[in-house]
């Protein structure tokens, strides 16, 4: 294993009792397109982990979005019950313990309110970042929902 992000994430998988295939690729997986190309799967099977921050309480909210979609921040805020804003790199690292481009959907050391894009559930398994920009893991979509204690929701931007 290379990189502290990957090591920390692998330890989190063990702590959660999840057995997932983690792979490190020679090419970057920072974008959904890059990840899908490197893995050899449909872009819609890639999970984008996007952190937003609530505007009034300044807490993180995690959107897990199909790689072919974008998030409708207004819709997500309505579902969450609080207006959201974009989070900068420092906020993301402080909230998750990982750098943008390698943020996994779980294993953050603290619970983050998490919402999973409905479109992810069209696939039995999905691929997500595993702690750094070169590592990914495959997980059953239902297990991802359970492990994150997340909420399945219609959060994609319909005007894409």
> Is residue 20 one of the residues assigned to a domain?
yes
Overall domain count for the chain: 1
Pairing of strands 125-129, 46-54: parallel
- Check the CA dihedral 67-70-75-77 and report its sign: positive
Residues counted in the chain: 160
> Is residue 158 one of the residues assigned to a domain?
no
Q: Find residue 127's DSSP bridge partners.
A: 46, 138
- pLDDT (0 to 100) of residue 160: 59
- pLDDT (0 to 100) of residue 1: 37
Q: Give the pLDDT of the chain (160 residues) as one tens digit per residue.
A: 345 899 999 999 999 999 998 999 888 777 888 889 989 999 999 999 999 999 999 999 999 999 999 999 999 999 999 999 999 999 999 999 999 989 999 999 889 999 999 999 999 999 999 999 899 999 999 999 999 999 999 999 987 5
Task: Report, in angstroms and rounded to the nearest whole number, the Rg of the chain calculated over CA atoms.
Answer: 14
- As to burial, measured by CB atoms within 10 angstroms (0-12 exposed, 13-18 middle, 19+ buried), residue 75 is middle
Q: What is the pTM of this model?
A: 0.94
> Is residue 160 one of the residues assigned to a domain?
no
Q: Which residues neighbour 146 within 8 Å (Cβ) at sequence distance 6 or greater?
A: none
> Is residue 72 one of the residues assigned to a domain?
yes
- pLDDT (0 to 100) of residue 57: 94
Rounded distance between C-alpha atoms, residue 160 and residue 146, angstroms: 28
Name the residue range of residue 128's domain.
Answer: 4-153
- pLDDT (0 to 100) of residue 2: 42
What CATH number is attached to the domain comprising 149? 3.90.960.10
Contact yes or no for 7/130 (Cβ under 8 A): no
Contact yes or no for 73/52 (Cβ under 8 A): yes
> Is residue 93 one of the residues assigned to a domain?
yes
- pLDDT (0 to 100) of residue 72: 96
- pLDDT (0 to 100) of residue 26: 86
> Is residue 63 one of the residues assigned to a domain?
yes
DSSP 40-103: TS-GGGEEEEEEEEETTT--EEEEEEETT--B-HHHHHHHHTS-EEE--HHHHHHHHSS-TTS-
> Is residue 92 one of the residues assigned to a domain?
yes
> What letters, b where the CB count within 10 A reaches 16 and e where it falls short, cover 49-65?
bbbbbbeeeeebbbbbb
């Amino acid at each position: 294993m290379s990189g502290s992000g990957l090591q920390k994430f692998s330890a989190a998988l063990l702590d959660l009792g999840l057995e997932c295939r983690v792979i490190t690729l020679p090419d970057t997986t920072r974008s959904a397109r890059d990840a899908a190309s490197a893995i050899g799967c449909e872009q819609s099977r890639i999970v984008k982990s996007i952190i937003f921050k609530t505007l009034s309480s300044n807490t993180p909210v995690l959107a897990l979005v199909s790689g072919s979609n974008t998030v409708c921040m207004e819709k997500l805020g309505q579902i969450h019950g609080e207006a959201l804003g974009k989070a900068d790199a420092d906020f993301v690292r402080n909230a998750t313990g990982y750098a943008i481009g390698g943020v996994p959907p779980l294993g953050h050391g603290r619970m983050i309110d998490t919402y999973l894009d409905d479109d992810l559930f069209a696939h039995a398994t999905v691929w997500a970042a595993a702690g750094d920009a070169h590592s990914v893991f495959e997980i059953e979509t239902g297990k991802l929902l359970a492990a994150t204690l997340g909420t399945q929701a219609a959060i994609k931007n319909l005007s894409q």
